[in-house]
A and B are shown apart, each in its own frame.
Chain A
């Protein structure tokens, strides 16, 4: 369960203070696939960064399974990012001089998982996301965008997190590949009971999620829920019903 309460994030740029996230509150139950939508500059990515403990809020609370991550020490924040969440980025952000396999093994190395164990798990995850054995030994530059994003998803799953945060996961992909990635995320949410929060500006993707939160100027402008998408991810979801 992810609970956000009165979350505020102010950004200072010289003498100007911008409220990027303005008093947002919402809940996402465990195992749901939620989308955060909104225009550029609406605060989507800032919100995602706060959920992933990449940045600290000005005020408010973020409860993950009952623990307020805004109050964690730096050391506990590292553990939180390492063990409880997985990140998927629009630009994939794989380490360029590591192979696909080594990229997936990386978070497990940080969690002090034994080499043999992390290799076996990385291979398993890569196979699950459809990366062949030959592709596993390639560096990111020799993989297509879709393949890189699959590797990134496998990396996000490496330490078996309960929460996956995806920032525009299909932003750099063609629509067909993007659809495959969304289906993959749906499958993860369903089969592993992993909560997924994806930032997107693609309403088609948003329609396929269980929950949708719309941001405008840092505020929560509305939220909606869908039920069919979780069961049949290939089928387009119902139009988003925005509730203010």
Chain B
């Protein structure tokens, strides 16, 4: 029988004590694992969000609202100055508009329809409840509330969103996938457009088909996949100069997103953009600042998880330490016997370390199973608790309780509910490492005490 197997057997010498220690250690290891998983999940989510939005600056006309006619747009000439600023690597400019479908009853104040009176032959794929009180009894689609009350007529269709952009490869910051045809050049007025799969289906459009907008004939250059995104589904993408020409807003831009070379330069670049455009002309927002504010709940979870992880490890070590201390004190005589018959300190200590390791691993196995089962429920509790606690704070700049938090979580197209732990081999290795650490820390002092036991202990009471 080897030293290790003797240690393993010794671990179960007193089954009641071993069972008790295993359960307590299991709680400790389980808690450590849950917190580790939560920590890793939250860290990954924060990193993901920061990676997506971390180094961009949002630029919009000062006090601009898509739903107001009284805004002064920025101009291409103003934004050209931004392009030349240090650390700005990319500037995407866009001009947004909404065109009602030709023949649809006019609700000009609904959704900021084009003030030029222009229309389009396209019908939005978005369905609204129409023909009822408050738009309530019609078939399908979301309910719409009209400013000042009233009803949507039965033949009403929502306006089509028009986006003129210098970067037709993305929409609302998310890359789009061309399902058929090809993309367009955002810098050239070619009279072409990209339509969504929903829009194409609704209007029987194919690549090369034409439709009317602003009294002009537009050719479909490509069809992009909007998936289940309703907002993307009703959008038609043009090159920026095309919309500027067709809408009679030459040189106007309603929003821009500047990309900075590194996150480190974000703050200085934001200041430079704001100074270049002037606070009267433009609102400049740094995405990193928004994320930092919105990520606060996640940071709270991270902190709680980290401290709980450390606490669980320390607790586990203390449990093993006290247990091994008790065992060593109980077995002083046995240690003396082993020394008297020729065992070295290292041999005896390794036997006790093996015993501690066995106890720890027993606790770890039970703890890991429990931890894996409980990790998602605990993470959900942490997220809910943190979001609730932070709601008031987020409301100051998020526009409502937890809106900023939800926006952050949703930045990658994921919902708050989608935040769940993922267990990989690395986590299990961490768990094993934690168990080893607990065993070594917990048995270090007892091992020292073993070395201090004199062989003459065996003669006590003889």
Contacts and interface: CB of A to CB of B under 8 A. Distances in A.
Contact of A45 (B1, B3, B459): B459
Contacts of B340: 52, 54, 81, 87
A54 B456 contact: yes
A48 B344 contact: no
A168 B340 CA distance: 16
A102 interface: yes
Contacts of A90: 462
Interface stretch (B226-234, B279-287, B331-339): B331-339
A49 B339 contact: no
B148 interface: no
A102 B10 CA distance: 14
Nearest to B342: A82
Contacts of B456: 49, 54-55
A54 B341 contact: no
Chain A CB count within 10 A is highest, among B6, B13, B336, B462, for: B462
A52 B462 CA distance: 15
A173 to B, nearest CB: 14
B454 A106 contact: no
A109 B9 CA distance: 17
Interface in A2-60: 45-46, 48-49, 52-55
B454 A55 contact: yes
Given A45-B462, A54-B455, A93 B6 contact: no
B458 A89 contact: yes
**Chain B: interface secondary structure?**
helix
Interface string B335-354: 01111111110010000000
Interface in A124-144: none
A81 B462 contact: no
A33 to B, nearest CB: 19
A93 B337 contact: yes
Interface of A: 45-46, 48-49, 52-55, 78-79, 81-83, 86-87, 89-91, 93, 95-98, 102, 105-107, 109-111, 155-156, 159, 167-168
29 contacts: A46-B459, A48-B459, A49-B459, A54-B340, A54-B454, A78-B339, A79-B342, A81-B339, A82-B341, A82-B343, A86-B341, A87-B340, A87-B458, A91-B461, A93-B334, A93-B458, A95-B334, A95-B337, A95-B338, A96-B334, A98-B1, A98-B6, A102-B1, A107-B341, A107-B342, A109-B1, A111-B342, A159-B342, A167-B462
| A-B residue pairs, 6 tightest by C-beta | A82-B342, A54-B455, A55-B456, A54-B456, A110-B342, A93-B337
Given A79-B342, A86-B341, A90-B462, 19 more contacts: A48-B459, A49-B455, A54-B336, A54-B456, A55-B454, A55-B455, A55-B456, A78-B339, A78-B344, A81-B455, A82-B342, A87-B340, A89-B337, A91-B462, A105-B1, A106-B341, A110-B347, A111-B342, A167-B462
